[in-house]
Structure 1
């Protein structure tokens, strides 16, 4: 198993048999008080992992010792619906999740995930059911996602999936949306230089105006 190759995600999978799992369940609002995106892992799926007294629920899959190293979640339909908080994606990543496989996703969550480097894979419900059965088998619960070949494999499943060319490239190269933009740095610099040549009077206009106002 390798966590260093962004083109291949392989590891322990856990089945989350929860449909319409929304972003407030993935990362409840009380864990969003910080001003940055760090420290979110303790809040991930908090109400599923802990009871009203804050004690771990021993029957919840991610609390079981054999699933402590889970890297892939196999979820129910409409995974990540609800509000648009990116914290749901950041929290899952900080918790150690590298990919989520489900029949369907909330549209904003899907975009947030791929733009931040969390792989999301859509497969038909019968395939998801088979993957969940494999994930339940502790001895054979490994899942492998090949981003180059666009395939998912487990003990009993081999299934193709699709990604846009842009998102496949991002996943293969380990890029988030900012990193993808920075691959065009040379073109950005060239455009900027040409822009100032064509419109020199616009350069530093705010600083020039502020300086005049101070006179």
Structure 2
């Protein structure tokens, strides 16, 4: 998993609440277990017409937001059915951070496990960041995970809270497997002792 330290870029404004996981990645794209290739289907029903052409008014189809790494939204982002494909699709598109007043619990947890940083900030702050984001490339936003602050284009720093363990994992690029491999010497030592004492387990 790629570490998340400091991210500066154009934020895409998505001024809507209750963006559920079926809007993030529609169910018809859930057949794969691959984490890559889902970015083109992100927000598919919102991004594309029935004939596959782009809807020009959708934010991620607009030239200034096509490479956005930050998404600003409103309440209850990621609600609906549980699907890990949702953060996979966001990450594959290039979005590493979502800022919203709150998130659905399962989506929130899945985001951290897949290297996407969900930040909870009050609605009024999200509205200010939404206004910043509407200025496109003229107003880059910085997310500094080391200091736990979001920096607006005018220099204002907004603190956010994050669980220390989750912060540590993102800063060091540790998913569940990475956390386990931190204990590899102890695991190897245990297996060597067990192999000597109970060789039949390894036959």
TM-score strictly above 0.5: yes
Structure 1 counterpart of 2:166:
167
Alignment CA distance shift 1:65-1:104 (3 Å): same
Q: Is structure 2 residue 52 aligned with structure 1 residue 54?
A: yes
Structure 2 counterpart of 1:182:
181
Alignment CA distance shift 1:139-1:85 (3 Å): closer
Relative to structure 2, which stretch is displaced further, 141-150 or 28-37? Answer: 28-37
Structure 1 segments unaligned to the other structure (5+ residues): 208-215
Measure how far apart 1:72 and its partner are: 0.3
Measure how far apart 1:162 and its partner are: 1.3
Alignment of 1:60-99 (within 5 A): 60-99=58-97
Measure how far apart 1:80 and its partner are: 0.6
Measure how far apart 1:60 and its partner are: 1.0
* Cα shift readout 1:33-91 (whole Å, capped 9, x = no counterpart): 22423311111001111123322111111111111210100111111111111111111
Aligned partner of 1:6 among 4, 7, 14: 4
Structure 1 counterpart of 2:27:
29
The whole-number CA distance in structure 2 between the counterparts of 1:36 and 1:69 is: 22
* Cα shift readout 1:119-174 (whole Å, capped 9, x = no counterpart): 11111111111000000012433111111100001124421111111111111112
SS in structure 2 opposite 1:90? Answer: helix
Structure 2 counterpart of 1:112:
110
Structure 2 segments unaligned to the other structure (5+ residues): none
**8 Å Cα contact 2:35/2:85 also seen in 1:** yes
Alignment CA distance shift 1:188-1:136 (3 Å): same
SS in structure 1 opposite 2:153? Answer: coil
Q: Is structure 2 residue 149 aligned with structure 1 residue 151?
A: yes
Q: Which has the larger radius of gyration?
A: 1
Measure how far apart 1:190 and its partner are: 3.1
**8 Å Cα contact 1:116/1:177 also seen in 2:** no
The whole-number CA distance in structure 2 between the counterparts of 1:104 and 1:35 is: 27
**8 Å Cα contact 1:76/1:103 also seen in 2:** yes
Name the TM-score, length of structure 1 as normaliser.
Answer: 0.86
Q: Which runs of 4+ in 1 moved over 6 A?
A: none
